Structure 1
C-alpha cells in the first residue's frame, strides 16, 4: 500500500481518471507505466485490480458505493498489453493459469524448464522480446481517448502521455530479467545465449491489419522489392505472415496522424478476453575463433582472411571488375 501511496503522490492524475482507465480494461501495470511510475509497480508482485480498487476506495469518493465494473478485468486481459505485464498467456498446451504468488514466476519457470529440457549449459543470458503491433496501436488509442475525455481539465497535460513513456516491451523486460536471474542463477546482459519471448495475438493482429489503409499494397510492394512473389507465396502460414507484417504495421501506424487514427480505430479499444500466445525459443550466437569473416554480400570482397595486412586468396569477381573499371581510359 505504501508503494501505491508513493506512486499516487509522484505522478498520478486525479484518482477518478485512474478509476476510469480500470473500467475500460487497462491493467494496473499499464496505468503505472503510462504515468511514469512503473518503477513502483515492478517491486509489487501482488498488484491486482482488486487490490488497486480497494486503494482507490480509501482515497477517492467516486470509487465508493458498491461493486465496480472494473473488477471484472481480473478475469480478462488488459486492453493495451493483452495480459503481458500481468502474465497470462496461451501456449500450445493451453492457457497458462494465474498464480497467486507471482505471475511473473510463471514465465520464468517455463523458461527454466525449457532450458533444462533442451540441455543448455549457460553462464549468462540476453533477453529478446517481440510483441504484436496491436499493443502499440491500442496504447495510442488509450492516449488519444484520455486526451479527448480529459484534455480540457487543468490537471491534464500531453506530457503525461508523452512518447517517452516506458514501452510495454521494456516494462516486461524489467519485470522478467531479475526473476530469470534468480531462477537460472546467472546474470542478464550481453551474452551469446539469447532467450527470445515471442508474443502473438492472431485475431487482434488480423483486425488491426484490416483497418490500416493500403497496408496490403505496401506489403506487396515491399516484398516485390525484396524479390518475393506474393502471388506464389500466398499459401504461407498465417502466423508467419502476421509476424512478417508487424514491421509494416508499425510503419503504417507511424505515418497516420492523430485525427485519421481516431477515425479508423475505436476509442477506447474493446476489452480483451483472449491473452497472447507465447513462444519461448533459444539461440546461441556464433563464436568466432580467429581471422576476419565477411558476410556473403555483393557489396564486399568475398575473401575470408587478411593476415598481416595482406589479403590471402583470390580476389572476388567484384574486386577484379572494380579494379579494371578504375584504370583511366586512354580514349577519353
Structure 2
C-alpha cells in the first residue's frame, strides 16, 4: 500500500509559484506548531486503539487546520504527526513507524470514512489520498449526470456504528484525561463528529471543482455510507423499539424524492445529529457507558472490521409553488391565479 501511496502522490504533484510555495510552507509551519502542542501520551493512546490521523486531529479540535489543507495526502499527515512524536519520544524507531502505519490502514473509529476508503457500487475497494481527490470523484459524477447547476446542497448519511464509535471514544477520553490540564482547557464544544468533518473537508474543493456555491438548493448531492454489520445491529435495535428517529428520517427522505422519479439509497442516518457539547453527547449514551474503560472501548470498536460501502447520488427535487399544482401538461386541469379575488389568465381545462 505504501507503494500505491507514493505513486499517487507523484502523479498528483502540482507546480506552485514561489509566492504560493511560501504561503503553503507557512501553513504547514502553523500546522506543525499546532500538532507539536498536542499531548503525546494521548496521541499515542488514540493511535494504539486504531484511530486514523484525521480522527486524531478532529478529536483534538484541529479540524480548521485540516480543512485548510485539502490537497494534503494522508501520508503527509502521518509524517507531520510522526515528526512531532519522534522529537518527543526517544524510543521512536523504524519498527514503531511500521506498526503505526499498519494501524492507520483502516480506522476503527470512522470506519475508513475520513481516510476516503470505501467500497464502490461494484464492490471494489477504493482509496483516495486527499480531500481534493475525493471531491474530484464526486464532481465528475455530478458533471456526467447534470450539465449545468447553479448551486448544490451536500448531504451525508452514515451508519449508526460511526456515531456510536464517536461517542465511545469521546467518553473514553473524558473519563481518562478529565483531570489533565490540556483536557480541561479544551472546550468540549470543539468536538466535531465524523459526519461534520467529512462535509467540511469536501465542501470547499467541491465548490471549486463545480464552480458553484453550496447552499440550501433544490439540487442535492448525497453521500450514503452503509455497512452490513452496522445495519444488522440497527435492525436489532429497531426490533426492540429503539432508533425511532431513523425510521422517521428514512420515510421522510424517500417521500421527498418520489416526485423526482429517481431511486435513492434509503436514509440511514440514525441518531447522527450535530453534537456540540459534552453534555449533549452524554445524554444519548446509556448510563452504564459513562465510565468507559479501554477494554469496553475496544469491544465497541471491534464490532465492525471493514470499510463502508459508498453510494453517491445526485437529484434535483421538484419546486412547489404555493396555491398551485405542478403542471406537466396543458391537457391536465389547472386552476388559474387568483389575485384580489379576481381570476387572472385563461383557464387551462381539459375539453
TM-score by length of 1: 0.69
Q: Find the partner of 2:296 among 261, 266, 273.
A: 266
Determine whether 1:8 maps to 2:35: yes
Determine whether 1:308 maps to 2:336: no
Determine whether 1:95 maps to 2:124: yes
CA contact (8 A) 2:158 2:269 kept: no
> Which consecutive residues of structure 2, in runs of 5 or more, have no partner in the other structure?
1-27, 252-263, 275-279, 327-333, 344-351
Determine whether 1:168 maps to 2:199: no
Distance change (3 Å), C-alpha of 1:206 and 1:311: farther
For the residues of structure 1 that align with 2:214 and 2:220, how far apart are their CA atoms? 10
> Which consecutive residues of structure 1, in runs of 5 or more, have no partner in the other structure?
229-238, 296-302, 313-332
Which shifted more, 110-119 or 256-265? Answer: 256-265
CA contact (8 A) 1:130 1:199 kept: yes
Q: Find the partner of 2:83 among 50, 55, 58.
A: 55
Determine whether 1:277 maps to 2:306: no
Determine whether 1:24 maps to 2:49: yes
Secondary structure of the residue aligned to 1:280 is: strand
Map of 2:149 onto structure 1: 122
Map of 1:218 onto structure 2: 241
Map of 1:111 onto structure 2: 138
Distance change (3 Å), C-alpha of 1:219 and 1:187: same
User: Deviation above 6 Å: which 4+ runs of structure 1?
Assistant: 220-225, 248-253, 303-306
CA contact (8 A) 2:117 2:126 kept: yes
Map of 1:319 onto structure 2: none
Map of 1:192 onto structure 2: 218
Distance change (3 Å), C-alpha of 1:60 and 1:304: farther
Distance change (3 Å), C-alpha of 1:208 and 1:63: farther
Map of 1:74 onto structure 2: 104
For the residues of structure 2 that align with 1:50 and 1:5, how far apart are their CA atoms? 11
Distance change (3 Å), C-alpha of 1:58 and 1:255: closer
Quote how far apart the aligned CAs of 1:224 are: 11
Quote how far apart the aligned CAs of 1:279 are: 0.7
Distance change (3 Å), C-alpha of 1:166 and 1:281: same
How many pairs align?
A: 282
For the residues of structure 1 that align with 2:292 and 2:200, how far apart are their CA atoms? 34
For the residues of structure 1 that align with 2:32 and 2:174, how far apart are their CA atoms? 25
Show the 5 A alignment for 1:289-328. 292-293=323-324, 307-308=338-339, 310=341
For the residues of structure 1 that align with 2:281 and 2:178, how far apart are their CA atoms? 26
Q: Find the partner of 2:318 among 286, 289, 295.
A: 286
Quote how far apart the aligned CAs of 1:248 are: 10
C-alpha RMSD over aligned residues: 4.0
CA contact (8 A) 2:168 2:292 kept: no
